[in-house]
Amino acid sequence: MELARRDFLRLSIAAGTGTALSGLVGSGVNLSPTVARAQELRIKGAKTTPSICPYCSVGCATLVNTVDGKIVNIEGDPRSPHNEGTLCPKGAAIFQLHVNPNRPTQVLHRAAGAADWEVWDLERAMNRIAELFKKTRDETFIEKLPSGKLVNVTAAVFALGGATLEIEFNHLCQKLMRGLGIVAIENQARI
């Protein structure tokens, strides 16, 4: 196996650094203050807000650091009994979701058969969703079964709650959907 000069230098530096650090730790030198100082400098002046990872039903706690309202860092919260400061690869990439220049920040709509996307304002999109929801419910609503039993249901709409939403919101969502006659109600925490 050939070893290039650059690879040899990289390995030498890595081995030397590892040897030096293990020597310091082995001789009883406490590196905790250095680690704490490095952590402090990384987020100095940032406002820390506790949050929850949006990806799955585990609900891993995160700390979102902001400077002037802009997110500068997101990491696991070591105080959490769920994740003890660790995050899975998806959770560790939350920050990239927020700073990604390719992330859609507008409502895009493509009409049936159209080739291009059209930018809609949020109010127009919400009104369109409400119109389609009402149309579907009205067309598929079953008030009574053939036997005459009152049921007031529609099987054409499905409701999915989010695992990272608090239980109160999911409860209200469920009550709203049941009130509209929707029987297919699920929560992402169970999927």
Tell me the C-alpha distance between 59 and 48, whole Å.
18
List own/partner pairs for 65-71 with CB under 8 A and 24 or more apart: 71/95, 71/98, 71/99
Tokens 């890595």 identify what position? Answer: 14
Q: Angle at the Cα of 12 (from 7 to 15), degrees rounded to 5?
A: 125
Give how many domains the chain has, as a whole number: 1
Domain-located, residue 72: no
Query: What is the predicted pLDDT for the residue at 4?
Result: 80
* Mean of pLDDT values over 130-143: 94
Domain-located, residue 28: no
Mean pLDDT, the chain, rounded, equals 84
Per the structure, the complete domain to which residue 175 belongs is given by 141-190
Write out the two tokens for 29.
Answer: 């030198």
Half-sphere exposure of 103 (CA within 13 A, CB side): 9
Domain-located, residue 170: yes
List, for residues 113-122, the tens digit of each pLDDT value: 999 999 999 9
Phi, psi at 66, each rounded to 5°: -125, 145
Query: What is the predicted pLDDT for the residue at 5?
Result: 78
User: How far is CA 157 from each of CA 112, 160, 185, 188, rounded to the nearest angstrom?
Assistant: 20, 10, 9, 16
Domain-located, residue 152: yes
Q: What is the pTM of this model?
A: 0.56
List, for residues 11-64, the tens digit of each pLDDT value: 888 877 777 767 666 666 666 666 666 566 667 788 999 998 877 777 889 999
If you write DSSP's letter for every residue of 114-134 in order, what string do you get? -SS-EEE-HHHHHHHHHHHHH
